């Protein structure tokens, strides 16, 4: 990276035939190699999905879950939902609340023993094996064994230790230390690993490699049934979890029809239902009600409208979005994502800041106080035929539940923290129910259903707003993907708005004069101001790739 006027930048990756992005260089190189050797985007994405489960264990693992959006060269689009869900024995009142219980837009606190956020009872039924393998079966061209081979080799040879590994392990060190297998792997010598540490420049995962080898031979069944499943269940039941071997055996990823949403002459291919997809649609609709180009990118007028649009959308998201309501009423995500609803809501945006917004009134809706945060990873692939994949997957929190299943190397998620621990709420725990996800990756296509661009990001509750900003940067302001991903961002998901100091004093002062509560922050490695986006865009006859500034990940093309 080079420094110019206190701004670091990266060169944009350019390729004629294919492009990938991933949050570690090793994984991006795996995806690019598969494209170069004749694999399609689905092959590359699935191989990277399993490889990132090895390379970025604080964010993802085969004990987690996620979503994959596939835009095929023939114009068809699909969303594979493999998010974790509650086990069959999980009752709505499975968690005991303390006198300090609190529910707000940052999550739920005050559950006894923090049982919904860490340890055995925080684990949802994982989907990170079944989902990608279903996509490979449906649209890929390679065998499971060939596709998993790079991840297996990475686990056996080891992953280079980075300062991110040190930082993330240090952040949750007490949780990791509670579980012997987790501490043995991720806290060598009782402490977080250090980059270039003498005698240990890489972390090796031989037990995880052996587990992946069994999956390579036996497919998803080798994970969800038999010895591996029995070990997962035994470990969780010993900690008081209600999960059964039948919960694993019955786990089924779902192929859903995407939400298609217009944006400035393009179509956004979004995830449907209780995800970030409907919220991306609402934000971009609210923004497109104005003449964005005349406002000017990141001008005071533009950022004001962006903050207000994000706040309006967040109010609706927290109020209504979940998979299903206990009394059977439908969740109005389609209405929240509609142009008509945006037109109704957009009239409430005035020239000055609103302290807060009440939720709107979609028909038949029920209020739903809900958290929305996680630690995730994002990757993408675009092949020479025009097949495009965007994939986000997660363990939910840093290192998930903190539990590594003995003898398997499998780190398990803590997705149960996404449920409302109070019975009788729209998002209360229920058998087989999937919680709301902030995952928001998006593929952009033209009227002929040909892909134009894609973007996504890891970053918990910040994902929705960041992804929307990258989309607007690329589509409304014609930015290349690198410029779109390294631009100054806002995060309006707290009690005020975190704003990048690079917006400039004039913009910040103007916004404050309008009544905005701002928290100016330098964009840097830690703490994160926004989510960590990457993007690919077709420009002329080339594919261009970009990724945010402060990550070890890369875009790689050929």
* Catalytic sites, residue numbers: 376
**φ, ψ for residue 163, nearest 5 deg:** -65, -25
Beta-ladder partners of 137: none
- Helix locations, 219-257, DSSP H: 221-224, 227-238, 245-249
Phi-psi region of 445 (alpha: psi -120 to 50; beta: other; left: phi over 0): beta
Helices (H) and strands (E) in the chain, counts: 19, 25
- 132/50 Cα distance (integer angstroms): 8
Q: Give which of 20, 77, 16 is closest to 45, Cα–Cα.
A: 20
| Tokens describing residue 457 | 């990001």
523, 6 contact by CB (below 8 A): no
What residues contact residue 298 under an 8 Å CB cut-off, 6+ apart? 487, 488, 503, 507
- 279/80 Cα distance (integer angstroms): 19
Burial of 339 (0-12, 13-18, 19+ CB in 10 A): middle
Place of tokens 């780190």: 411
CA-derived radius of gyration, the chain: 22
- 87/158 Cα distance (integer angstroms): 33
């Amino acid at each position: 990276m080079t420094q110019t006027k206190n701004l670091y930048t990266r060169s944009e990756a350019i390729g004629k035939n294919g492009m990938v992005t991933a949050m570690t260089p090793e994984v991006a190189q795996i995806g690019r190699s598969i494209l170069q050797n004749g694999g399609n985007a689905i092959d590359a994405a699935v191989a990277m999905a399993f490889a990132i489960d090895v390379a970025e264990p604080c964010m993802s693992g085969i004990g987690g879950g996620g979503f994959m959006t596939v835009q095929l060269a023939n114009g068809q689009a699909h969303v594979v939902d493999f998010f974790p869900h509650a086990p069959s024995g999980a009752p709505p009142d499975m968690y005991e609340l303390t006198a300090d219980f609190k529910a707000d837009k940052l999550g739920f606190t005050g559950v006894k023993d923090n049982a919904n956020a860490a340890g055995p009872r925080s684990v949802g039924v994982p989907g990170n094996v079944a989902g990608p393998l279903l996509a490979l079966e449906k649209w890929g061209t390679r065998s499971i064994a060939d596709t998993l081979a790079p991840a297996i080799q990475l686990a056996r040879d080891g992953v280079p230790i980075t300062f991110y590994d040190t930082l993330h392990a240090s952040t949750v060190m007490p949780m990791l230390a509670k579980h012997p297998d987790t501490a043995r792997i991720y806290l060598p010598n009782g402490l977080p690993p250090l980059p270039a540490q003498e005698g240990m420049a890489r972390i090796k995962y031989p037990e995880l490699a052996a587990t992946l080898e069994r999956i390579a031979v036996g497919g998803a069944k080798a994970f969800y049934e038999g010895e591996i499943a029995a070990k997962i269940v035994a470990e969780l039941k010993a900690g008081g979890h209600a999960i059964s071997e039948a919960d694993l055996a019955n786990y089924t990823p779902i192929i859903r029809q995407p939400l298609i949403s217009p944006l400035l002459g393009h179509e956004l291919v979004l995830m449907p239902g209780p995800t970030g997809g409907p919220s991306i649609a609402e934000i971009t609709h609210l923004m497109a009600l104005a003449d964005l180009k005349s406002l000017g990118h990141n001008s005071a007028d533009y950022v004001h409208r962006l903050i207000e649009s994000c706040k309006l959308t967040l109010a609706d998201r927290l109020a209504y979005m979940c998979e299903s309501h206990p009394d059977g009423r439908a969740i109005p995500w389609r209405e929240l994502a509609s142009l008509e609803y945006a037109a109704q809501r957009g009239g409430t945006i005035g020239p000055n800041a609103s302290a807060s917004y009440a939720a709107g009134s979609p028909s038949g809706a029920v209020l739903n106080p809900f958290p929305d945060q996680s630690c995730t990873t994002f990757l993408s692939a675009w092949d020479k035929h025009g097949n495009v994949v965007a994939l986000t997957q997660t363990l939910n929190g840093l290192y998930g539940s903190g539990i590594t299943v003995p003898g398997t190397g499998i780190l398990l998620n803590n997705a149960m923290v996404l449920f409302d621990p109070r019975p009788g709420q729209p998002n209360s725990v229920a058998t087989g129910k999937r919680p709301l996800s902030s995952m928001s990756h998006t593929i952009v296509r033209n009227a002929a259903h040909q892909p134009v661009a894609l973007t996504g990001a890891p970053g918990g509750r910040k994902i929705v707003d960041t992804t929307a900003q990258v989309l607007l940067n690329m589509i409304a302001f014609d930015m290349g993907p690198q410029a779109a991903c390294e631009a100054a961002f806002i995060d309006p998901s707290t009690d005020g708005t975190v704003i990048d100091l690079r917006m400039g004093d004039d913009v910040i002062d103007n916004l404050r004069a309008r009544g905005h509560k701002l928290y100016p922050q330098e964009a840097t490695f830690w703490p994160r101001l926004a989510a960590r986006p990457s993007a690919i865009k077709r420009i002329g006859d080339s594919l261009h790739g970009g990724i945010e500034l402060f990550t070890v990940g890369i875009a790689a093309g050929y």
